[in-house]
Amino acid sequence: MTPGGAERTVNVLAIAGSDPSGGAGIQADLKSIAAGGGYGMAAITALTAQNTQGVRGVHVPPAAFVTAQLDAVSDDVRIDAVKIGMLADASVVEAVGEWLRRVRPPHVVLDPVMIATSGDALLDPAAADALLRLIPLADLITPNVPELAAIAGDPAATSWEAALEQALRVARRHGVRVLAKSGHLEGSLAPDALVLPDGSVAEFAGQRIETSNTHGTGCSLSSGIATRAARFAGDWVRAAAEAKAWLSESLRAAEVLEVGSGHGPVNHLAGLWARGGLETRPSPEEIREEWWSGIAEVRRQTDELGFIRRLVDGTLARRDFLDYVAQDVIYLRAYARVLARAAELAPTTEEQAFWAKASQGAIIGEILLHRDRLGAEAADAAASGAVPASPATEGYVNHLLAAGTRGYEEGIAAVLPCYWVYSDLGMRLARGELGVSARASDHPYAEWIAAYDNAEFAADTETAIGYVTRAASRADPATRDRMRRAFEAAAVWEREFFGQTAAG
Ligand SMILES: Nc1ncnc2c1ncn2[C@@H]1O[C@H](COP(=O)(O)OP(=O)(O)OP(=O)(O)O)[C@@H](O)[C@H]1O
Ligand SMILES: Cc1ncc(CO)c(N)n1
C-alpha cells in the first residue's frame, strides 16, 4: 500500500533535534512525513528539554555519533529525501556536511533553524558560518524571516516585499532555491514563495490563520516539502504548494488539540483522520475465516435436517426430493437474475465475466439437470410460475433480489452461501462425513450429490469467495457489515430451503 496507489513509498530522513513535547523537531518531521505519504526516519542531532512554552535545555551528542546514525541509515536504506533541521553546534554542522558530500542524497531541504518560536537559541551563534557552508549542499532552504535576515546579513524584513527581495539575493548569492515564508510578518495574508537563483518566483497565496498554535510549523513545512519533492520527482513548485496546503489544513485543525499552554502544535494528521484514515482493514483471509465460523451453528443445523439425513442414507421419499427440486427451479431463475445484476455492476471485466457465466450456468445447467429429474413438463411448470413458490423459496429469493438492488457488494455477499454451503456439503457428503458415502453407484441421489462435488464447482466457489472477501476487505465498515449480514441471512435461508419439505 502506497499513498498514491502504484507510487512507490519514498524514504525520507530527518536530521534534526528532538522536541519531547512532540510539536517540533523530529517528532514534527516524522508526523509530517507520514502525513505527506512518506516513510519517515530520524537521525537525532540534539536532545532538547522543551515544551510549548520554551526550551529548558539542550544536550548535544558527540558529532561522531551523529555521523554513526547517518551512516547506519545510508549504509542500509535507499534515501529519497533529506530534511535538515536543528544542528546545535559547529561540530554537528560539519558532521552533517561531511555525510552529505559523501552520500549525496537526491533531494535535500535545509531548514536553517537558529531560534525557536519561543525565542530560544537552537544554534550556537559561533556555528552560523558553518551553517552557511551547508547551503550549497541543499536543493532548497526554508528560512523564516529572522533566519533569512541572518543569512542575507541584513536586518529582519518587516514587509513581504522586503522578505522576497532578501530571498532573491540569498538565492543568487548561494545558488540555491529559497522558500520565503511570511509566518513572522503581520497582516491578514500569509503567503510563501519559492525563489530561484535565476530570479523566478512562484508565490503561494495563503490566508493568515488566527491561532497561536504555530510551534513547529517550519519543521513540519520543510519535511512536508522534502517528502513531496521526492514523490513528485523534484517538482519543487508542486511540492511546496501541496505542503503549504497541507500545513494550512493542519494549522486550522490545531485548536482541537489540547497540548500545553504556550504555542501549541499543529494537528499534523487532522486531514487524514477527517477523511477516514483510522480504520484497520481486515484481510480477505480474515474475513473468510470470520464469516465461515459466523455461520457454524447454521451449518450444523443444516447438517441435522431430516432432508439432509435422509438424502444421505438414501431414505428420502421421492416425493420430498421432487418437491425440493421444483422449488429449486423457481429459486434458480431468481438467483440467475441476481448473478446477472452482479455481472452488470462488477468493477472488473474478470468479475463481470465470472458472474455472467454463473448466471447462464444457473439457468441452463442446473435447470436442465433438474428437468431430467422432474420431467420436462413439471420443470417448465415450476419455471413458468405455475407451481407456487413456497414461503422458504419466496423468502430466500426476496432476500437475494433485495440485496442485489442495494449494490454489487451486498449482492455478491448474498449469493455466496449458495456456492459455499453447497460445495462444502457436496464434498462432505461424497466423503461420507455425514454417514454412508453418497458416492456409491446404487445410491438413489448419487447423481444430485455429484453435481455439487466436482472440481469445477469447487474452483468456482473459491473464485466467488475470493471476489466477495476482497470486496469486503476494500469496503468501508458500514458496507462490510451489510455484506456480512446479507451473507449470514442467506445461509439461514439455505437451511430453511433444505428444511422446507415434509422430510423436515
Ligand atoms: N498564522 C498562520 N497562518 C497561516 N500560515 C502560517 C501561520 N503561521 C505560519 N504559517 C505558515 O507556516 C509555515 C512556517 O512559517 P514560519 O515563518 O512561521 O516558519 P518558522 O518560524 O520556521 O516556524 P517554527 O515555528 O517551526 O520555527 C509557512 O508556510 C507560513 O506561511
Ligand atoms: C528540536 C527543535 N527543532 C526545531 C525547532 C523550531 O521550531 C524547535 N523548537 N525544536
Residue pLDDT, tens place only, 57-96? 999 999 999 999 999 999 999 999 999 999 999 999 999 9
75: left (phi over 0), alpha (psi -120 to 50) or beta: alpha
Q: Which amino acid does the sequence have at 124?
A: D
Distance of CA 335 to the CA centre of its chain: 34
Q: How many angstroms does the Cα of residue 363 sit away from the middle of ligand 1?
A: 67
Pocket of ligand 2 (CB under 6 A): 16-19, 24-25, 48, 85-86, 113, 116-117, 122, 216, 218-219
- pTM, 2 dp: 0.83
Rounded CA-CA distance 142/145 in Å is 10
In this prediction, does ipTM exceed 0.90? yes
Write b or e for each residue in 49-68: b if 16 or more Cβ atoms lie within 10 A of its Cβ, otherwise e: ebbbeebeebebbebeebbe
Coil vs helix vs strand at 119 = coil
Q: CA nearest 82: which of 102, 61, 110?
A: 110
Can you tell me which atom of ligand 1 is nearest the CA of 24?
A: 26
What residue owns the CA closest to ligand 2's atom 4? 25
In this structure, whether the domain defined by 11-274 belongs to CATH 1.50.10.10 is answered with no
* Alpha-helical regions (H) of 13-127: 25-35, 63-74, 90-103
Mean pLDDT confidence for 132-142 = 97
Does any ligand 1 atom lie closer than 6 A to the CB of residue 263? no
CATH class of 284-498: mainly alpha
Mean pLDDT confidence for 254-283 = 92
What residue owns the CA closest to ligand 1's atom 19? 218
Q: How many angstroms does the Cα of residue 471 sit away from the middle of ligand 2?
A: 45
pLDDT surpasses 90 at 375: no
- Residues with a catalytic annotation lie at 181, 214, 216-219
Mutate to test the pocket of ligand 2, among 18, 117, 122, 123 (most ligand atoms within 8 A of CB): 122
Over the stretch 399-411, which tens digit does the pLDDT of each residue have? 999 999 999 999 9
| pLDDT, greater one: 68 or 325 | 68
| pLDDT, greater one: 453 or 325 | 325
Mutate to test the pocket of ligand 1, among 164, 217, 225 (most ligand atoms within 8 A of CB): 217
CA torsion through residues 446, 449, 451, 455, sign: negative
Domain boundaries of the chain, sorted by first residue: 11-274, 284-498
Cβ neighbours for 160, distance < 8 A, ≥ 6 positions apart: 182, 185, 187, 189, 191
Rounded CA-CA distance 16/142 in Å is 14
Alpha-carbon Rg for the chain, nearest whole angstrom, is 34
